[in-house]
Amino acid sequence: MSLILGISCFYHDSAAALIKDDEIIYASQEERFSRKKHDASFPDKSIKYILSKYKLKFSDCFVVGFSQGGMMTFELGNYSEEQLGGLAILSGRIMTNEPPTNLKFLKTPLFISHGDNDDVLNIDNFYSSCNYLKENNFHFEKHLLEGDSHTISPKAINLLQKFKKKNL
């Protein structure tokens, strides 16, 4: 069984979704719980509801984020009190230079990929993110994807699927 926790936030209508074996089994917008129309905050109430409803822990979930979503998934792993099942940053970056606050996060299998033709987030972001992960002793796998732009390419998906099988 494969579980993915999807998160969208900090724009408008933040939300969380649970995907089981490639099928969306639950999704909700944060406004349902906060009662704030178009709530853009981090969807912590939606996430807590999903985990409670399906009797899950963060360690059961593989969290994936693209671009700014990758930045947010990293922050979720860093500030959570639990260890995630796995985490992927696709065409994103790590914004902090501070040591991790959640030491369990260091054991979380982490995947990071970036296209060498990304015109949205400069390739230097990938290198600095990888340096941060290495300096802080994270368990991670990195992929610089030749010819990829700011996208989730079939190459990235294939590598991520192999990573999930190997680590989960």
Are 1-56 and 59-168 equal in CATH topology? no
Average pLDDT, the chain: 88
Map residue 26 onto helix, strand or coil: strand
In this predicted structure, what is the pLDDT of residue 81? Answer: 79
In this predicted structure, what is the pLDDT of residue 35? Answer: 86
Q: Give the CATH fold of the 59-168 domain.
A: Rossmann fold (3.40.50)
The model's confidence at residue 1, banded by pLDDT at 50, 70 and 90, is low
Structure tokens belonging to residue 26: 């639950």
* Predicted TM-score (pTM) above 0.85: no
Three-state SS string over 123-162 comes to: HHHHHHHHHHHHHCCCCEEEEEECCCCCCCCHHHHHHHHH
Residue in the structure block whose two tokens are 């054991």: 107
- pLDDT(2) > 80: no
- pLDDT(71) > 70: yes
152 against 4, higher pLDDT: 152
| Domain ranges for the chain | 1-56, 59-168
In this predicted structure, what is the pLDDT of residue 42? Answer: 79
Q: What is the tens place of the pLDDT at every residue in 134-157? A: 999 999 999 999 999 999 899 999
- pLDDT(8) > 90: no
In this predicted structure, what is the pLDDT of residue 38? Answer: 85
Thinking of the domain 1-56, which architecture would CATH place it in? Answer: 2-Layer Sandwich (3.30)
Average pLDDT of the segment spanning 118-141: 95
Q: What is the tens place of the pLDDT at every residue in 16-67? A: 888 888 789 998 988 888 888 888 777 888 988 999 999 988 888 888 888 8
In this predicted structure, what is the pLDDT of residue 108? Answer: 93
Average pLDDT of the segment spanning 97-103: 89
CA dist 168 and 166 (Å) reads 6
